[in-house]
Structure 1
């Protein structure tokens, strides 16, 4: 009897050990299975295992500038105001042409339209002479008799080959304000501040009229000037990292050894008009020391302002880096300039060049005997 009882106890003990061992193995196996994707995820996250993900916005199907607008998906509903949806006909103007709307439209017109259509809407803006087709006279009977919705669509979608679409530059409300201003029949240069735009999407910069002086490519007297692409010159300064007045070396398009400084040769590319294409306004017209009104809260009129970057809260604050951390071709500023997004108003018949327009800058370095 005792022997039988002892055997049962031993059997029970072995069974318990077996079950405990089996449970332990299952737990370990489950933990290993859970750990494998976690470890793989960490290896990919910290680039121990590198995966060539496509992460650049430009690497995707897209419409080129001046092309037809992207088709709107079926049953789309606008979320930021009355806009045009294909197949729904010309939109109705929801904004009353009151004093506030006309004042806003006057300011927005001066910034976005006057460069081509002129301050009084006669089609005689500073860029007009360089365009393949003469800008429309907005005071003409044909334009004034057009419906508000028709003008809204022209501003929104542009005119292929002649006028860029402004749907990404202006909110629907801003486009309707411009329509109201054009239809008011009182197109005059603004004598108001941007206070009427407070509380809206973004501060609107005050456009400084460009005097359009010709760019001096002769170099005048003194040491022989050098020729180089404007984008290349900025890039050489960015990557050299030299202070404002210190010279940095470069080789010009003819193979000559040259040197330039930021103050004398790079800064004028942002502060002078007529540099990037005939009739171009200065970059500092929209990006200047008046940060509250400057586009992207960015100052391109000074050495300190360019280093401080964009979206600055005040003059003493640093913003987002626009120089690519010293790698020019990775920078926001290079992207904007090389793709023609800056300065505004580039004629469609002037092609872009990855080196920028060839300019006269710096001076040749004398060879020592």
Structure 2
């Protein structure tokens, strides 16, 4: 009798344990099914289940009466804007570089719609040399670049500034869509070489026999940094030690400013920084003027000539500055050939004069 009762208790306890485990496993199993989306519930919020742009999706309309943060480049619903950027040599060269970086992969180097990605796209890229495209207004092309074309072309408003979009428009409308290497070769002979640039393939210049005060060798970025850390003097000389250990001094006007206002300073064929960043703030890239002492100190994204913008000199700490980041990583000037290495010291230049030490 006792054995049967013991077996009964054991069997009952076992059943209760099994029943309890089954009850506990049900919510755990349900949780796993929901977590791994075997069961999808609309009322749950996951990071990937939220309003977001999808590939090739048309951008959402902006709220009524809103103005873009970078200024009223155009107002939605009021037609295509007027082109504020003159189609001069600088704009066309900028446009050619930007087109090669952002557009040629689909539209092709000559704008024929035959880029390397064209064969993989559902919609064939437009032939930009077609008369319909060429007869379109500048503002129409600007809006296409800005907003994209639903289902076939992504919006580039996040990739290109308004000024850069206008440069691309000018280049496309120039009727001279030319592969980058052809344009670079054609323009190379028109640029004035700067004698103070020392290409990396040349040996250091022997300063001992130079006529007049001996020049000093120093990396361009290092020179700007020493000027910044000396308090950005406008006319007073600031000291530095060149790559050969000589004691030297330089001034802003004679040695620093040319790095921003002369071509070929950062690599052979480089355009002057001031060709894109100049006193015409409305059209200047990043609304920044690098052509003058006052403009450099005033910074970027300025609303007008009397206003100060964002500091580009790192608050006196050069390597923390926006300008150092752009120059040291090759983002400025535009169009650096891939075969020219980037050096955090910048190209070695001849600058300043040696100072006799007692």
The TM tier, using the shorter chain, reads 0.5 to 0.7
Give the match for residue 131 of structure 1: none
Query: In the alignment, which residue of structure 1 is the partner of 2:277?
Result: 287
Match of 2:329? 339
- Report if the CA contact (8 A) 1:298-1:310 is conserved: yes
Unaligned runs of 5+ in 2: 1-51, 61-79, 101-107, 119-123, 129-140, 147-155, 179-187, 197-204
Alignment pair present for 1:359 and 2:338: no
Partner residue of 2:67? none
In the other structure, the counterpart of 1:213 is 192
Is residue 170 from structure 1 mapped to residue 160 from structure 2 by the alignment? yes
Distance 2:267 2:248 in 1: 24
Cross-structure match for 1:186: 175
Distance 1:296 1:186 in 2: 27
Equivalent pairs, count: 231
Task: Give the equivalent residue in structure 2 for 1:127.
Answer: none
Aligned pair in 2 of structure 1 residues 248, 286: CA closer, same or farther (>3 Å)?
A: same
Q: Counterpart in 2 of 1:148? A: 125
What is the rounded CA distance, in whole Å, between the counterparts of 2:53 and 2:283 in structure 1?
Answer: 38
What are structure 1's unaligned runs of at least 5 residues?
Answer: 1-72, 82-98, 119-135, 157-165, 190-208
User: Any conservation in 2 of the 1:105–1:178 contact (CA below 8 Å)?
Assistant: no
Q: CA deviation at 1:242?
A: 4.3
Matched, 1:138 2:97: no
Using structure 2 for the length normalisation, give the TM-score. Answer: 0.53
Residues 271-350 of structure 1 correspond to what in structure 2 (within 5 A)?
271-350=261-340
2:65 counterpart residue number:
none
Offset at residue 112 of structure 1 (A): 3.2
Q: How does 1:81-160 map to 2 (within 5 A)?
A: 110-114=92-96, 138=110, 147-149=124-126
Among 242, 247, 250, which residue is 2:240 paired with?
Answer: 250
| TM-score with structure 1 setting the length | 0.51
Cα distance in 2 between the residues matched to 1:177 and 1:320: 24
257, 266, 274: which one pairs with 2:256? 266
1:247-275 deviations in whole A, cap 9, x for unaligned? 11100001111110111000000001001
CA contact (8 A) 1:296 1:311 kept: yes
User: Aligned residue for 1:61?
Assistant: none
- Residue by residue, what CA displacement relative to the aligned partner does 1:108-153 show, whole Å, maximum 9, x if unpaired? 97153335999xxxxxxxxxxxxxxxxx86288978xx8535889x
The verdict on how the C-alpha distance between 1:282 and 1:102 changes in structure 2, with shifts beyond 3 A counting, is closer
- Over 3 Å counting, the alpha-carbon distance change for 1:176 and 1:112 in structure 2 is closer
> Post-superposition shift, 1:328?
0.3
| SS of the residue 1:250 aligns to | strand
Query: Which string of whole-angstrom CA distances, capped at 9 and with x for unpartnered residues, describes residues 68-126 of structure 1?
Result: xxxxx995463538xxxxxxxxxxxxxxxxx98999896897153335999xxxxxxxx
Q: Assess if the C-alpha contact under 8 Å between 2:85 and 2:167 holds in 1.
A: yes
| Separation (CA, whole Å) in 2 of partners of 1:255 and 1:242 | 23
Tell me the CA shift for residue 216 of structure 1: 1.4
- 1:197 aligned residue: none
Alpha-carbon deviation of 1:318?
1.1
CA pair 115-213 structure 1, distance change in 2 beyond 3 A: farther
Does structure 1 residue 227 correspond to structure 2 residue 204?
A: no
